[in-house]
Amino acid sequence: MFIERIELRYVQIPLKSHFETSFGRAFGRDTIVTTVWADGVEGWGETPVEDGPWYCPETVETAWHVQRDFLIPMLLGQRFETAAEVFGRMALVRGHAMAKCGLEQALWDVEARQRGLSVAALLGGTRPRIESGVSVGIQDTVDELLALIEGYLAQGYRRVKIKIKPGWDVDVVRAVRARWPTIPLMVDANSAYTLADADRLAELDEFDLMMIEQPLAYDDIYEHSLLQPRLRTPICLDESIHTPAHARAALELGSCRIINIKPGRVGGLSQARAIHDLCRARGVPVWCGGLLEVGVGRAHNVAIASLPGYTLPGDVSASDRYFERDVIVQPIALNADGTIDVPAGPGIGVAVDHPFLDRLTVRRETFASA
Ligand code: NPQ
Ligand code: MG
């Protein structure tokens, strides 16, 4: 693959309804959609940043800067045998996983199209469908939360994740469990607690939760290893895991028993696959998280979640969970049984809705090889 041209688009898309986590309330989604042309073939990726450094330190502006000034110059005019090489060729840039992800994903799409394969097949995916779960934000009242969950269950979602924080935790989970005693249920704290809250978190043990996600600091691995032995509920790490080495450290220390892998958080699909492989070799289940990606990143998430070690339903929901209208012609849809089909067509298997994407694009920059 000879990289001829790269385009970045700053995209702003409204959310159907606001999404609240312990780190704040979002009404819209700011993201970067990336197109790469190599050997005349076009590929698409997403840099799933936010307007501010809330979920992670990267933002639209930091990713744009690092892509324009450092990563794109490393790729333009260069040749690659395979997309699996791309992450390593960006190694001189430390961190900036999301900035790397958007560019790397676009090259997986190019390579898959060139080979006449889906990105899922090129990655080694084995599932024709993935099990879909839904992440439900913090609400103003428990009644509103119950009504929302009822609607998602009626649509078929196979697992419900509720966001928690101090003041919106044990009583809320108790109410949900009282209404649905057996649904697959989990919670995500997005780092809202400290070790001093261990007893409070242990009160969640009675609700038969699949896991509690990222209870402690976003950059901690060690203190989670002290918390896990005090809980019966498995801990799942999200924000803390950026590399295969972090995953290995967390598993060796006993900091978690499950890992949420997001391509954006770990620098793209090859790193996501490497963490998957490491966990699979140890019998540790993983699942694909979500960052409210538009259709492009969402399709990449569906592809990676088709790997055999993604044994738990993830946060890859249908497009209409978040958007009235997605940036792809055929939105990603939920089957009645709560699964999502893994596209079998070439590349990411979805077509960009160009007129709609153009309307949402607030800034665009193109880079061509000399
Ligand atoms: C998580 N995602 O697992 C994240 C949190 C997250 C689906 O729960 C804009 C608005 C960007 C809300 C990125 C889910 C976001 C966001 C991440 C929430 O922790
Ligand atoms: Mg999370």
Domain residues for 254? 121-341
Q: Are 247 and 275 in contact (CB under 8 A)?
A: yes
Looking at residue 299, what is its pLDDT? Answer: 98
pLDDT at site 369: 87
Pair (98, 10) in one structural domain: yes
Q: CATH number of the domain that 21 lies in? A: 3.30.390.10
* One domain for residues 76 and 26: yes
**Do 73 and 130 belong to one domain?**
no
* Dihedral in degrees, nearest 10, Cα atoms 358, 360, 364, 368: -50
Same domain, 12 and 140: no
- Check whether residue 261 and residue 207 sit in a common domain: yes
Q: What is the pLDDT of residue 370?
A: 76
Q: What is the mean pLDDT of the chain?
A: 98
Tell me: do 301 and 225 sit in the same domain: yes
Taking only the tens place, the pLDDT of each residue in 157-202 is 999 999 999 999 999 999 999 999 999 999 999 999 999 999 999 9
Ligand 2 centroid–CA 328 distance in Å is: 25
For residue 185, count CB atoms less than 10 angstroms from its CB and return exposed for 0-12, middle for 13-18, buried for 19 or more. Answer: buried
Whether residues 92 and 177 fall in one domain: no
Q: CATH number of the domain at 139, please.
A: 3.20.20.120
Amino acid at 316: V
Q: What integer is the mean pLDDT of 46-51?
A: 98
Question: Are residues 130 and 170 both part of a single domain?
Answer: yes
pLDDT in tens, 88-127: 999 999 999 999 999 999 999 999 999 999 999 999 999 9
Q: Are residues 301 and 360 in the same domain?
A: no
What global pTM score does this model have?
0.97
List all residues whose CB is within 6 A of at least one atom of ligand 1.
19, 21, 26, 29, 50, 55, 135, 188, 190, 238, 289-292, 315
Rg (CA), the chain: 20
Same structural domain, 135 and 265: yes
**DSSP state for residue 51 in the 8-state scheme:** S
Question: What is the token pair recorded at 149?
Answer: 């969950």
Indicate which residue's Cα is closest to atom 16 of ligand 1. Answer: 291
- Do 360 and 329 share a domain, yes or no? no
Q: How many separate domains does the chain show?
A: 2
pLDDT of residue 80: 98
Distances (CA, A) of 239 to 40, 114, 207, 302, 350: 37, 34, 24, 20, 28
Q: Do residues 141 and 40 share a domain? A: no
